[in-house]
């Protein structure tokens, strides 16, 4: 059986240790902040997340860019030259051009390596939702599944990968065009916190608003109670609010009997749009 590599991009927001354990090839997206472009490596070698979020709190907004075709071409060809196949799982195509770049590179390389399998899957996921999917794929691979079996598993799992999150500051969503200026102003005055999710097409969708931070976190937990079918592994990403997330993780373990809760930062590419104080909860559910 031919060996294969799992490839993804840095919007998976996995820890560097998890990526190493899963033997992933991870392409970094980039963020431009205060005139400097930083590649979003999972080990934070170019930009510490605490520094990034501190700058955001002080009003230093940036811009982001996807991994391009050339980057994917180089990374994929390195793997193909080793005689291995590739299963690439990308950041949602509704939120980034990363999937398109990976697909173009794969098409170009397929002609040069006709005997190799180069699969590119649009995860329709973001942050540690993408990370959870890649993690589960890695577990299937470690169990000895073939590349076609893992690909089929990934595609079957995508519609059940639940993303529920809230943000602390509506102004970041306003800048990204997710809420109007008037709604952001009124919501801020009334301490309204949005509850959002990523839908079946991988789009970011506002679902409701609740009053106050505690109510927004409770709304995420209530969604998990409503939808979750398997709480063996739960992932939470956050915009530099670790204390709140650790408390939330303890509540999940107490309330649902969940054994493993994996926590990491929302990376700078997504965090640039969601802002400090973002809390995102990911789990497998009956549907998204």
Q: What is the DSSP string of 169-206?
A: -HHHHHHTTSS-HHHHHHHHHTTEEEEEEE-TTS-EEE
Which residue intervals of the chain bear CATH 3.30.1180.10? 160-285
Is the CATH code 3.30.300.30 the one for domain 160-285?
A: no
Of the candidates 117, 110, 51, the residue with the CA atom closest to the CA atom of residue 84:
117
Task: Give the alpha-carbon dihedral of 65, 68, 71, 77, to 10 degrees.
Answer: 150
Classify 4-158 by CATH class. alpha beta
CB 11 within 8 A of CB 126: yes
Q: What is the pLDDT of residue 199?
A: 97
pLDDT in tens, 178-212: 555 545 544 555 577 889 999 999 998 888 889 99
Q: What percent of the chain has pLDDT over 70?
A: 92
pLDDT band at 61 (very low <50, low <70, confident <90, very high): confident
Q: What is the pLDDT of residue 185?
A: 47
Q: How far apart are CA 164 and CA 183, in angstroms?
A: 21
DSSP 108-119: HHHHH-TTS-EE
Kindly state the average pLDDT of the residues 215-232.
93
Q: Which residues pair with 192 in a beta bridge?
A: 211
pLDDT in tens, 101-157: 999 999 999 999 999 999 999 999 999 999 999 999 999 999 999 999 999 999 999
Range from 68-72, 98-102, 178-182 carrying the lowest mean pLDDT: 178-182
pLDDT of 78 strictly over 70: yes
pLDDT of 163 strictly over 80: yes
Q: What percent of the chain has pLDDT over 90?
A: 83
The segment with the largest mean pLDDT, out of 9-23, 59-73, 199-213, is 9-23
Q: How far apart are CA 101 and CA 24, in angstroms?
A: 18
Q: What is the pLDDT of residue 9?
A: 98
Q: How far apart are CA 27 and CA 65, in angstroms?
A: 12
Q: How far apart are CA 215 and CA 208, in angstroms?
A: 12
Which residue intervals of the chain bear CATH 3.40.50.10170? 4-158
């Amino acid at each position: 059986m031919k060996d294969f590599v799992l490839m993804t991009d840095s919007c998976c927001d996995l820890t560097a240790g998890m990526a190493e354990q899963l033997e992933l090839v991870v392409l970094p997206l980039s963020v431009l902040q205060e005139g400097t472009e930083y590649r979003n490596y999972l080990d934070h070698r170019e930009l510490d997340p605490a520094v990034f979020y501190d700058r955001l709190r002080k009003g230093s907004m940036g811009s982001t860019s996807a991994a391009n075709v050339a980057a994917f071409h180089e990374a994929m060809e390195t793997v193909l030259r080793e005689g291995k196949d590739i299963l690439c799982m990308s950041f949602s195509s509704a939120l980034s051009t990363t999937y398109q770049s990976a697909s173009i590179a794969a098409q170009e390389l397929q002609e040069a390596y006709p005997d190799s399998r180069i699969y590119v899957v649009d995860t329709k996921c973001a942050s540690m939702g993408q990370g959870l999917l890649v993690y589960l794929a890695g577990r299937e691979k470690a169990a000895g599944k073939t590349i076609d079996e893992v690909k089929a598993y990934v595609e079957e799992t995508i519609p059940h990968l639940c993303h529920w999150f809230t943000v602390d500051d509506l102004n970041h969503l306003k800048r990204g065009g997710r809420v109007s200026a008037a709604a952001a102003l009124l919501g801020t005055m009334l301490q309204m916190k949005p509850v959002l999710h990523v839908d079946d097409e991988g789009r970011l969708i506002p679902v409701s608003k609740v009053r106050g931070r505690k109510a927004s976190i409770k709304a995420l937990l209530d969604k998990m109670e409503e939808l979750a079918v398997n709480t063996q592994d739960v992932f939470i990403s956050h915009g530099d609010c670790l204390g709140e997330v650790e408390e939330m993780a303890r509540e999940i373990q107490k309330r649902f009997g969940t054994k493993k809760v994996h926590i990491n930062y929302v990376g700078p590419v997504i965090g640039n749009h969601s802002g400090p104080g973002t809390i995102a909860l990911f789990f497998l559910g009956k549907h998204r």
